[in-house]
Amino acid sequence: MLNFDLSHEQQLIYSYGDSLAREFDRKYWMACAEKKAFPAEMYRKIAADGFLGLMVSERYGGSGLGMLEAALFSEGMSNNGIPMLSLVVGATMSMSPIDKFGTEAQKQRFLPDCCQGKIRFCFAITEPNAGTNTMAATTFAREQGGKFLLSGQKVFITDAGDSDYALVVTRTTPLAEVRKKSDGFTLFIVDMKAPGISLQYIPVSVQVPEKQWLVFFDNVELSPDDVLGEVGRGFELLFDSLNPERILVAAMAVGLGRFALGKAVAYAAERRLFNNVPIGAYQGLQHPLAIAKAEIEMAALMTHKAAWAYDHGVPAGEFSNMAKYYAAEAACHAVDAAIQCFGGNGFTKEYGIFDLYPLVRLFRTGPINREMLLNFIAEHVMGMPRSY
């Protein structure tokens, strides 16, 4: 059964964002976002405090904790308006699978330095012509003379330009030759400085420090030592990356929603217009904020349940997809209600409320769009016919 009481260690992890924000607050994060500069000082601080390797085994420099602790860490950071997408694609989606499925040599080579912040990973799955339909991926690693030659392209790869390595999802058997569409995938650990790799920056309107990249692979030479897991069975490993991604994005959305509501409540208590009464006393403002608060806390519960299920070996897809869907919706409602509370001030740089909206709105679309989440729930949870 799900225990709603956090352990002392979990409470410390959850509150870490509060202490971090005393040195690296929302203003610092926004300054980095506006310059598109990775928050290196904050990242080094997080590494020094031991939070990069939350889900990495202690023998490789991590904390040996679980998905719930990682979600609490992300949520606590976002409660203070400082989400970090790079910690999702690097610290969780890449380091955790290496810890779980990597060879001893791979673990020794990558994990200690990752936990110390000396090297960074990105995660490369999305392709320009496949999008959400990963089965249609055409990036291909051709085996030749005991080596693999990787060719193709990936799009919207967060932090690719600043990462040392990438965990790349590619086919090693063409779609036309497999029995099941999910067969023939292989995950490779790829050095981002290897010959044959080129990058193209993708300007996006969402203000975050991490950049988005189009990555091209042109006969990049890989060895069997670069394979994570088994050749042709990479799709089985993917869910150990994709469900955590959805859980952590949900945790970020929950935290950002709380951050927006906290600012709105404080503003509504101070702002006076009619009869010298605080605008927070009017139900026209109270009710939207109260509804948003209820939605955020409901989303937090589902996020924690998804993380708990993942940690306990319970199939987590149902809860992960629900958490990501509902948290993104709740965060959008929360930020929208906060903007309305601030009136014209909600659109100014000084108050910093509207800056939150593009990011929480992005969570409705990425890393997986709300329509595909609803498709999953309808088909795999409710048993309805496949719709696509």
Span 334-343, pLDDT tens digits: 999 999 999 9
In the block, which residue shows the tokens 């924690």? 304
Span 304-349, pLDDT tens digits: 999 999 999 999 999 999 999 999 999 999 999 999 999 999 999 9
Buried b (16+ CB within 10 A) or exposed e, 292-312: bbebbeebbebbbbbbbbbbe
**Mean pLDDT for the chain?**
94
Instruction: State the pLDDT at residue 1.
Output: 43
Per-residue pLDDT of the chain in tens (388 residues, 90 and over written 9):
456 788 999 999 999 999 999 999 999 999 999 999 999 999 999 999 999 999 999 999 999 999 999 999 999 999 999 999 988 888 788 999 999 999 999 999 999 999 999 999 999 999 998 888 888 889 999 999 999 999 999 999 999 999 999 999 999 999 999 999 989 999 999 999 999 999 999 999 999 999 999 999 999 999 999 999 999 999 888 877 889 999 999 999 999 999 999 999 999 999 998 888 898 999 999 999 999 999 999 999 999 999 999 999 999 999 999 999 999 999 999 999 999 999 999 999 999 999 999 999 999 998 999 999 999 999 999 999 998 8
Distance separating alpha carbons of residues 137 and 177, to the nearest angstrom: 14
Q: What structural domains and CATH numbers belong to the chain?
A: 8-115 (1.10.540.10), 121-231 (2.40.110.10), 236-381 (1.20.140.10)
Q: Are 250 and 323 in contact (CB under 8 A)?
A: yes
Instruction: State the pLDDT at residue 3.
Output: 62
Distance separating alpha carbons of residues 89 and 156, to the nearest angstrom: 12
* Structure tokens, 240: 């150990």
From 47, 48, 27, 28, select the one nearest 38 (Cα to Cα): 28
| CA-to-CA dists, residue 172 to 184, 306, 329, angstroms | 6, 32, 37
- Measured distance between the N- and C-terminal CA atoms of the chain, rounded to whole angstroms: 35
Strands (E), the chain: 121-124, 140-144, 147-158, 165-171, 185-191, 197-202, 212-222, 227-228
Instruction: State the pLDDT at residue 195.
Output: 98
* Structure tokens, 244: 């955590």
pTM of the model: 0.94
Span 207-240, pLDDT tens digits: 999 999 999 999 999 999 999 999 999 988 887 7
Alpha carbons within 13 angstroms on the beta-carbon side of residue 326 total 22
Residues 6+ apart with CB under 8 A from 95: 52, 53, 55, 56, 62, 110, 111, 114, 115, 121
